[in-house]
Amino acid sequence: MVTNPVHGLPFLPGSSFTDTTKTEFHRSQTLGYRNGYAVVRRPTMGIGGDRLYYNQLSQAELDELANKAPILTYGPLKQAPPAEFVPAHVAFDKKVLKFSAYFQEDVPISMEEHYRIRRVNIYYYLEDDSMSVIEPVVENSGIPQGKLIKRQRFTKNDVGDHYHWKDLNRGINLTVYGKTFRIVDCDRFTQDFLESQGIELNPPEKMPLDPYTELRKEPVRKYVTPSDFDQLKQFLTFDKQVLRFYAIWDDTDSLFGECRHYIIHYYLMDDTVEIREVHERNNGRDPFPLLMNRQRMPKVLVENANQNFPQCVLEISDQEVLEWYTAKDFIVGKPLTILGRTFFIYDCDPFTRQFYKDKFGMPDLPPVDVSKKEPPPVKQELPPYNGYGLIEDSAQNCFALIPKAPRKDIVKMLVNDNKVLRYLAALESPIPEDKDRRFVFSYFLATDMISIFEPPVRNSGIIGGKFLGRTKVVKSFSPVDNPIYYGPSDFYIGAVIEVFGHRFVILDTDEYVLKYMESNPSQYSPEALASIQNRIQKQDLPAPELESKQASEDPKAQDLEALIEKIQMRLKDNSCKDNLRETFQIYDKEESGYVDRETFFKICETLNVPVDDSLINELIRLCTHGEGRINYYNFVRAFSN
């Protein structure tokens, strides 16, 4: 690039030189962004990086421009447009002139004052040239105050002219509706506004004082009574000052006596005493607030004074009392007898401590600990068990006035809900009628209770049904205070269970008991498990073999065997034996060896079996099991050789 760094030389070949140090010849950027908007800016650097200069003229050019008249070149100047019109209600909106003034009001009906000075504030509203007069409210003045003249334009004369802000100044009288106001001062804004408009303000004046108000500010005249003791002075000095003491009345030495707490109030204004009760929650007493009403308490009475008159209705006068109780008689830590009752003062409040410190010079009144240590709790011993109900239920009567049910094992009840172990048992009794009685034991795992039911048997002479309700059964050898109840491990085939003096022998169990013992073998003894194994082995044998085996083992079946032999010796014709067995097997579809009673007699009638014979009737009776089921295996044996 060729430049001419020396000013004044012509831009001709040979007069200009090339700057070899310049390497950038691009144009400067003139576009940019400011606050998110695209703007155009004037370049400051030229091509090649040279700085651009603006409005740099020589002195000769500047002088030449100064001597030129713009009018000759551009013609006369155009007049500026007039300023925009602004109405007064906009220009002077919320601009108010405030003047402090007062007026004098005559008081002809009072002897203490003849006139009254009332202070007011005069407001001038520039937006519409209206004015208002407002009197500040003074508390307890007894005068209607506030807005004296509402906002309006005040008339200045009879012609109808109105007051303008040019008419207002300090130190002038303003007459409105026959009442003259003296303007004494104005606020800072009013002063600046009037001075800006060329109005010279008068010096401010001092607001006069109201004579009656100043008279009320004088101190009240005090009167001094020369008496040594003045009750009025005591009343005014110690009004609402009460000494509070905390006391107890210990009457535990008498029958049904107790230690009760009280609050003693001593009123300094008239030397009266009041005793209040301290009520505790659920103490069983009526909430009566006072033990003794507020009154003066005599300390020493005159001897032999009105002995024949009842003191309960006699008002004690000063002539009958030698000494009254005073504040110095109430000392913390000392007893005090009032109306025959001895109170012990053990504490007081902070105000009472400070009063005794200032009045009597007692710097410290330490409280006395009157709390009694509770005796050690008596160990509760349960009375001996009387044998009625469960011992847990009977013990609840010793724990509470209204007994509650003993706490149950909820988890055990939920786990073993509706789980019942059933056993078949016989009664051990020397009475022959009780040998054939059978009972069903039900053991409830959820509550460890036992119930006994006796199935009814027709024509047995014994009423069946519930033998024992659901309850816990105590073992005979367990102590009374710590009973041991029967559990699942005590029930097995051959076990002897003693229930309230009755001995039972377990003969059989149901299928659920077998499954329970199989799943919980650790709860049972080896003897119990062996009895169950023998029972299962017998259950696997066929019905005829089982009957014969039971007959050989059971001593009660010996009568049946002897009867069968008698019938075999008596009956010579055994031709119906084969048909009898086959017929019974046809009707016994379950192959259990039993048929119902109706079917049995129907078959016997068809095959001409002599059921009317006494031996046959005894055989039918011995073969009958339960209600209406007959074992035909033993019956058919009587008709075989």
C-beta neighbour count of 166 within 10 angstroms: 10
Classify residue 389 as exposed, middle or buried by CB count within 10 Å of its CB (0-12, 13-18, 19+). exposed
Give the whole-angstrom CA distance, residue 325 versus residue 340: 14
DSSP state of 387: S
Please count the CA atoms within 13 angstroms of the CA of 435 that sit on its side-chain side.
6
The answer to whether residues 167 and 175 touch, using CB atoms and an 8 Å cutoff, is no
Per DSSP, helices labelled H in 397-445 are 410-415
The single-letter code of the amino acid at 271 is D
Q: Which residues pair with 337 in a beta bridge?
A: 342
The single-letter code of the amino acid at 432 is P
Name, in order, each residue with C-beta under 8 angstroms of 373's C-beta and a sequence gap of 6 or more: none
| H/E segment holding residue 614 | helix 614-623
Assigned token pair, 611:
């059921």
Classify residue 266 as exposed, middle or buried by CB count within 10 Å of its CB (0-12, 13-18, 19+). buried
The answer to whether residues 636 and 577 touch, using CB atoms and an 8 Å cutoff, is yes
Query: What's the N-to-C CA distance of the chain in angstroms?
Result: 155
DSSP result, 161-200: -B--GGG--TT-EEEETTEEEEEEEE-HHHHHHHHHTTPP
Residues of the chain with pLDDT under 50: 1, 541-546, 551, 574-576
The answer to whether residues 126 and 97 touch, using CB atoms and an 8 Å cutoff, is yes
Give the whole-angstrom CA distance, residue 443 versus residue 509: 11
**pLDDT given at position 310:** 62
Residue 600: phi and psi, rounded to 5, are -60, -50
Give the whole-angstrom CA distance, residue 531 versus residue 507: 10
The answer to whether residues 101 and 117 touch, using CB atoms and an 8 Å cutoff, is no
DSSP result, 271-299: TEEEEEE---TT-SS----EEEEEE--EE
**pLDDT given at position 280:** 84
Give the whole-angstrom CA distance, residue 344 versus residue 337: 9
Residue 581: phi and psi, rounded to 5, are -65, -45
The answer to whether residues 440 and 423 touch, using CB atoms and an 8 Å cutoff, is yes
Supply the angle between the helices 597-606 and 577-587 in degrees, to the nearest 10: 150
**pLDDT given at position 546:** 47
3-class secondary structure, 234 = helix
The answer to whether residues 268 and 292 touch, using CB atoms and an 8 Å cutoff, is no
DSSP result, 483-526: --B--GGG--TT-EEEETTEEEEEEEE-HHHHHHHHH-GGGS-H
Distance of CA 255 to the CA centre of its chain: 44
Assigned token pair, 394:
């009977």
Classify residue 298 as exposed, middle or buried by CB count within 10 Å of its CB (0-12, 13-18, 19+). middle
3-class secondary structure, 43 = coil
Length of the chain: 641
Assigned token pair, 519:
């799943």
Assigned token pair, 177:
């509706």
Q: Which residues pair with 152 in a beta bridge?
A: 131
| H/E segment holding residue 636 | helix 632-637
Considering just the CA atoms, what is the radius of gyration of the chain in Å? 64
**pLDDT given at position 106:** 92
Residue 538: phi and psi, rounded to 5, are -65, -35
| H/E segment holding residue 122 | strand 115-125
Residue 560: phi and psi, rounded to 5, are -65, -40
**pLDDT given at position 3:** 53
